[in-house]
Amino acid sequence: MTGGKASWIAVDWGTSNLRAWVMGPEGTVIAALGSDRGMGVLDPDGFEPALMDLIGAYLSEDGRVPVIACGMVGAKQGWAEAPYVAVPCPPPGLSEASHPTAADPRLDLRILPGVKQVNPCDVMRGEETQIAGFLRENPSFDGVICLPGTHTKWVHISARELVSFRTFMTGELFALLSKQSVLRHSVAADGWDNTAFAEAVSDAMSAPQRLAARLFSIRAGSLLEGTDVATGRARLSGWLMGLEIAGARDYWLGREVVLIGAPRLTALYYDALAAQGAEVREADGAEIVLAGLKAAQEGITT
């Protein structure tokens, strides 16, 4: 990628990381930039300096450059709060964005809002822009988008709108149990056992009420039978994921499911769902956030 001045800048600002794409004429990417200065390490006065450190060299000295940002930058603890939009709704666009004033006169900042659901209560911030990116390329999609992660989202999409969604804390539960519970002694940091994972998914779906007992069996198995720690890791993941998939049955049953996320994680969801007969496919999520920010810039999300 070559240097140059920005026509506009796309920003994905999460809790841990900051990413920016400097956009040139005709939608070309002049530069893809990143830093570890996510929301979690910044105070309210630190956001603009963090952004300027990243993109300052690409701003012209005369005129204002549009900056479209999504993610935790719009949270209460972020640069400026961008209030949630309620479902059912299209992915939010610039008409719903907050427009804080930046100290540097060259910045014309818009922060896209997240999405909320009142009954039952649920929120997302950032995933809606990924959904906008997918719909930009698949405008006729009608089904469910699953975004695996620390807090996995299951989102029903119809007529280019987010109809309803549900969040599962499966990833966070896995991290807590594998790193901070007694199971940390019996679960590997990496390694895998495909058979153990598949069996655990099936077991959790058929008997979810036994989950707490199944979890302790990971520790007991390592003590009494010398069960490999990679097998323990796969069983822990499988039991938690099976519980989630059982809980999300009304989302995926009878609908096409598209998985968007890190390939290693979406592959596990694919295997678990396919084993249940679900119609499921994976989408390339590498540039999905940028596609969503482009959708907002083009005004096609409203």
The closest alpha carbon to 270, from 171, 190, 198, belongs to 198
- What's the rounded mean pLDDT across residues 183-202? 96
Q: What is the mean pLDDT of residues 102-108?
A: 95
pLDDT on residue 302:
41
Between residues 202 and 286, which one has the greater pLDDT? 202
Q: What is the pLDDT of residue 286?
A: 76
Locate all alpha helices (DSSP H) within the chain, ordered by sequence: 47-55, 127-137, 170-180, 194-206, 211-224, 229-247, 249-252, 263-274, 288-298
pLDDT for 10 beyond 80 = yes
Average pLDDT over residues 220-224: 97
Looking at the structure, tell me whether residues 184 and 278 fall in a common domain.
yes
Average pLDDT score over residue span 274-292 = 92
Q: Which two tokens stand for residue 239?
A: 């039991």
Q: At residue 49, does pLDDT exceed 60?
A: yes
- E strands, 42-141, in order: 65-71, 85-86, 107-111, 115-117, 122-124
Q: Into how many domains does the chain fold?
A: 2
Higher pLDDT, 229 or 63: 229
Residue at 150 is within a domain:
no
Domain end, chosen from 125, 154, 183, is at: 125
pLDDT reading at 27 higher than 90 = no
263-288: average pLDDT: 94
- With a cut of 80, say whether residue 1 has pLDDT above it: no
Calculate mean pLDDT across residues 100-109. 95
For residues 13 and 121, membership in a common domain is answered with yes
Average pLDDT for 207-213 = 96
Mean pLDDT of 217-229: 97
Question: Do 15 and 89 lie in a common domain?
Answer: yes
Tens digit of each residue's pLDDT (9 = 90 or more) over 118-135: 999 999 999 999 999 999
Average pLDDT over residues 19-45: 94
**Is residue 2 predicted with pLDDT exceeding 50?**
no
Q: What percent of the chain has pLDDT over 90?
A: 93
Is residue 302, in this structure, part of any structural domain at all? Answer: no
Please write the tens of the pLDDT for every residue from 142-168: 999 999 999 999 999 999 999 999 999
Structural domain of 22: 8-125
- The reply to whether 227 falls in a domain is yes
- Confidence at residue 62, expressed as pLDDT on a 0 to 100 scale: 82
Mean pLDDT of 262-272: 96
Residues 271, 173 within the same domain: yes
- Are 188 and 91 in a shared domain? no
Q: What is the C-alpha separation between 124 and 85, in angstroms, rounded?
A: 10
Q: Are the beta carbons of 147 and 127 closer than 8 angstroms?
A: yes
Which pLDDT belongs to residue 300? 52
pTM as predicted: 0.93
Identify whether residues 175 and 67 lie together within a single domain: no
Q: In terms of domains, do 200 and 94 share one?
A: no
The domain that holds 93 is classified in CATH as 3.30.420.300
Per-residue pLDDT at 142: 98
Same domain, 119 and 182: no
Last residue of a domain, one of 125, 157, 185: 125
Q: What are phi and psi of 127, to 5 degrees?
A: -65, -30
Residue 35 located in a structural domain: yes
Same domain, 15 and 116: yes
Of 97, 125, 153, the one marking the end of a domain is: 125
**275 with 198: CB under 8 angstroms?**
yes
Q: Tell me the three-class secondary structure of 269-287, residue by residue.
A: HHHHHHCCCCEEEECCCCC
Residue 116 and residue 206 share a domain: no
CA–CA separation, 10 and 194 (whole Å): 39
Structural domain includes residue 133: no
Any domain includes 208: yes
- Classify residue 301: in a domain, yes or no: no
Tokens of residue 234, six digits:
């796969």
Q: What CATH number is given to the structural domain containing 211?
A: 3.30.420.310
62-99 pLDDT per residue, tens: 889 999 999 999 999 999 999 999 999 999 999 999 99
Structural domain includes residue 291: no
What is the reported pLDDT for 3? 60
Residue 11 binned pLDDT confidence (cut-offs 50, 70, 90): very high
